[in-house]
Structure 1
Amino acid sequence: MSQVVDEGHDPLRAQHQYTHLYTDLLRTVRELGLLRRRRGYYFTRIGLVLASFVAVWVGVGLLGDSWFQLLMAGALALVLTQVAFLSHDSAHRQVFDSASWNDWTARLLAGGLVGMSAAWWRSKHSRHHGAPNQLDKDPDIGAGVIAFTPEHAAQRQGLRAWLTRRQGWLFFPLLTLEGLSLYVASLQHLFRRGASSVERIEAAIVVTRLGAYLAVLLLLLPIGKASAFLGLQLAVFGVCLGGSFAPNHKGMPLVPKTMKLDFLRRQVLMSRNIRGGLLTDFALGGLNYQIEHHLFPSMPRPTLRKVQPIVREYCELHGVKYTEVSLLTSYRIVVDYLNNVGLRARDPFDCPLAAELRSAGGRNLA
């Protein structure tokens, strides 16, 4: 179970030996050419996803007034999940050398196809990458429907407290609402006071896409079937997208808001990789290589598999704990962690990160 780091231990001396670790690793990766763009891969993948998107809507048109449309709703959700992964890659500037080309590709994929704001997601996701699992800094463990820290759980009363004590078991049912939650947060960001001119353009793209989506559904289907189509599509989309992000950090060590960590350990010790083959890579959009992605955010997705053995060996050589489990094991860890947070059954000194710091400190003192 993940725990908050022991702040009583002074990590400065222990950090000294890690000062140049990331620089050395980055130099090796660059020399091997593993940061080069893979435009052929991305052009092919974007083309296939666009073709799938069009095929789904052709299928919707051909089926007409039928409950078999629910199959198309599920298919659309799966396609939109892959579009979201591509927008994620482009926002991380993995596709093109040009920052502008990457940014606009991310906007068009997210806004024009998914109907979501890339600007909102990038702002939130950049803060997560800068401080994964750090209290009051990582928005992914902030207060919300689910309590990710004992402090958030302790503030809840009544029905919310009862639900929080069982939130691990409720996690996957709640993911069916994640799609709707993402759309609401995206629109709130775009229509907030002080939005930039680019965000206003993005808002127009998003509103046009959402409006056209609803109009097509209501034109082709009775309101009952249209509502069922929309509800199922949002539910499947939420489960697929939320289920791909959940295994990566939940249940890993939490970092106090004032603690300073070097880049290598900040990214490796708070991240978890998921074992699997090409099917796992596809289903999770390459996020199963979470450690490598956090160390090299602009590395093209297909290269993450190649760099993994280098990173794992490097971490083992320098005594940095590298975590990799199966997908089912990761979900079990997430459920157990969330239930334990809800019950506040945590020992603040039983912490993998604190142990790492103490061990490093002992080696330095020796």
Structure 2
Amino acid sequence: MTARAQPALYGRLLGEVRDAGLLRRQYGYYAIRIVANLVVFAGAWVAFAFLGDSWWQLVIAALLAVVFAQLAFVGHDAGHKQIFRTRRPNDVLGVAHGGLVGMSYQWWIEGHNRHHANPNHEERDPDLDIPALAFTSRQARVKQGFLRWMAKHQAVLFFPLLTLEGLSLHVSGIKAVWRGGTGMRRLERVLLTVHIAGYLTAVFLVLSPGLAVVFIVVHQALWGIYMGCSFAPNHKGMPTMSGRPGDFLHRQVLTSRNVRGGKVTDFVLGGLNYQIEHHLFPNMPRPHLRHAQPIVERFCRKHDIPYSQTSLVRSYRQVLEHLHELGAPLRAADRAQRI
């Protein structure tokens, strides 16, 4: 296939999706989703106040971890203009949701958009630039010291490391908004300050110091695991790229993995289980992704483009197998040195 024909191929797929009406906004769906999230969010904090200094508060911590993830999913959709047609109202909604969960929407979406432009690209995808892990052979080879030890055992460490994902989102967002900026960044600075002050005040005011610390650890760790487990199946363990990226259609499909499942899976993973369709049509409203999936799969099969789709459990297995495989040469080298 010629280079000129490749963009035309994507144009044909885009035409099919557009003709099916799958790029139309879904205001009613998002209104219900946002209101439901906010009701549960408020209800959880009301229950927190009524329970008082009780170990049952750890149930509230787990509930808040789920709610935080669901709020973050809405922020993700806003960042891709899935909710409104224009950028401004999506950004306002995204910043507001970022403030509720204590992360910088502006910082996150900047990196996420770079990821979408070049998924699994070794030099251009920020999601592959994680010091504690190695996602390619070249990354594994250059690890030194403690990071090399982590790379050797990264398959075992992967899920424990996800407990720190929530903390990482908080810290990275705080660093970003405190670097300066105008407009939305100033607003985010205020929202993050209010979030941190309000969260810590509520927790330490209602709970005894020891229980307060446990509550925070459980809440943030479970939120981190939830977020990590929602994003990890999408690309980890899929082919990586380097140098000049290929055409849009192939680089999005070949580096992405779908997760099979029904409406429960759609809800739990925030629609990210349709990762191929999401990458091909980032501004497609979340409820339309499941309808686009058979169209895209059929199109890819017709044009001999590998289309990856598996179960949720199998997706995690593929991720761990990939991480274990990359750590194998490092483990072998260490064994050889000891002999």
Q: Same fold (TM over 0.5)?
A: yes
Partner of 2:97: 109
Partner of 1:225: 211
Q: How does 1:225-264 map to 2 (within 5 A)?
A: 225-256=211-242, 258-264=243-249
Whole-angstrom CA distance in 2 between matches of 1:96 and 1:155? 44
Give how far 1:17 is off: 3.8
Given that residues 61 and 218 in structure 2 are in contact (C-alpha distance below 8 angstroms), is that contact kept between their aligned partners in structure 1? yes
Give how far 1:161 is off: 2.0
Whole-angstrom CA distance in 1 between matches of 2:98 and 2:329? 38
- Cα deviation 1:141-192 (Å, max 9, x = unaligned): 0142112222222222344322211101110111011111111111111112
Whole-angstrom CA distance in 2 between matches of 1:159 and 1:92? 37
Does residue 118 in structure 1 map to residue 78 in structure 2?
no
Whole-angstrom CA distance in 1 between matches of 2:308 and 2:254? 8
Does residue 46 in structure 1 map to residue 31 in structure 2?
no
Given that residues 77 and 233 in structure 1 are in contact (C-alpha distance below 8 angstroms), is that contact kept between their aligned partners in structure 2? yes
Whole-angstrom CA distance in 1 between matches of 2:308 and 2:123? 24
Given that residues 116 and 183 in structure 1 are in contact (C-alpha distance below 8 angstroms), is that contact kept between their aligned partners in structure 2? yes
User: What TM-score does the superposition give when structure 1 sets the normalisation length?
Assistant: 0.88
Partner amino acid for 2:200?
A: L
Given that residues 133 and 150 in structure 2 are in contact (C-alpha distance below 8 angstroms), is that contact kept between their aligned partners in structure 1? no
**311, 314, 317: which one pairs with 1:326?**
311
**Secondary structure in 1 matching 2:6:** coil
**Secondary structure in 2 matching 1:33:** coil
Partner of 2:143: 156
**85, 88, 100: which one pairs with 1:97?**
85
Given that residues 143 and 152 in structure 1 are in contact (C-alpha distance below 8 angstroms), is that contact kept between their aligned partners in structure 2? no
**276, 279, 300: which one pairs with 1:315?**
300
Whole-angstrom CA distance in 2 between matches of 1:167 and 1:89? 30
- Cα deviation 1:288-344 (Å, max 9, x = unaligned): 000000000000000000010000000011111100010111101100111112224
Whole-angstrom CA distance in 1 between matches of 2:239 and 2:144? 26
Partner amino acid for 2:189?
A: A
Does residue 298 in structure 1 map to residue 286 in structure 2?
no
Whole-angstrom CA distance in 2 between matches of 1:263 and 1:244? 24
Partner of 1:131: 118
Give how far 1:14 is off: 5.4
Given that residues 132 and 150 in structure 2 are in contact (C-alpha distance below 8 angstroms), is that contact kept between their aligned partners in structure 1? no
Whole-angstrom CA distance in 1 between matches of 2:259 and 2:10? 22
Whole-angstrom CA distance in 1 between matches of 2:3 and 2:158? 36
Q: Note closer, same or farther for the CA distance 1:115–1:53 as it changes in structure 2 (3 Å cut).
A: same
Give how far 1:16 is off: 4.5
Q: Alpha carbon RMSD of aligned pairs, Å?
A: 1.3
Whole-angstrom CA distance in 1 between matches of 2:56 and 2:106? 35
Give how far 1:197 is off: 3.0
Q: Structure 1: where are the runs of 5+ without partners?
A: 1-12, 346-366
**Secondary structure in 2 matching 1:20:** helix
Given that residues 267 and 295 in structure 1 are in contact (C-alpha distance below 8 angstroms), is that contact kept between their aligned partners in structure 2? yes
Whole-angstrom CA distance in 1 between matches of 2:273 and 2:125? 20
Given that residues 58 and 218 in structure 2 are in contact (C-alpha distance below 8 angstroms), is that contact kept between their aligned partners in structure 1? yes
Partner of 1:55: 43
Between 91-100 and 152-161, report the one with greater CA deviation: 152-161
Whole-angstrom CA distance in 1 between matches of 2:140 and 2:86? 44
Q: Note closer, same or farther for the CA distance 1:134–1:344 as it changes in structure 2 (3 Å cut).
A: farther
Partner of 2:178: 191
Give how far 1:136 is off: 1.2
Partner amino acid for 2:76?
A: H
Give how far 1:55 is off: 0.7
Partner of 2:250: 265
Give how far 1:239 is off: 0.4
- Cα deviation 1:242-294 (Å, max 9, x = unaligned): 100000000111111x2231111011000000001111111110000000000
* Percentage of pairs with the same residue: 47
Larger RCO (CA within 8 A; separation ≥ 6): 1
Give how far 1:223 is off: 1.2
Partner amino acid for 1:209?
A: H
Whole-angstrom CA distance in 2 between matches of 1:262 and 1:166? 35
Given that residues 131 and 147 in structure 2 are in contact (C-alpha distance below 8 angstroms), is that contact kept between their aligned partners in structure 1? no
Does residue 32 in structure 1 map to residue 20 in structure 2?
yes
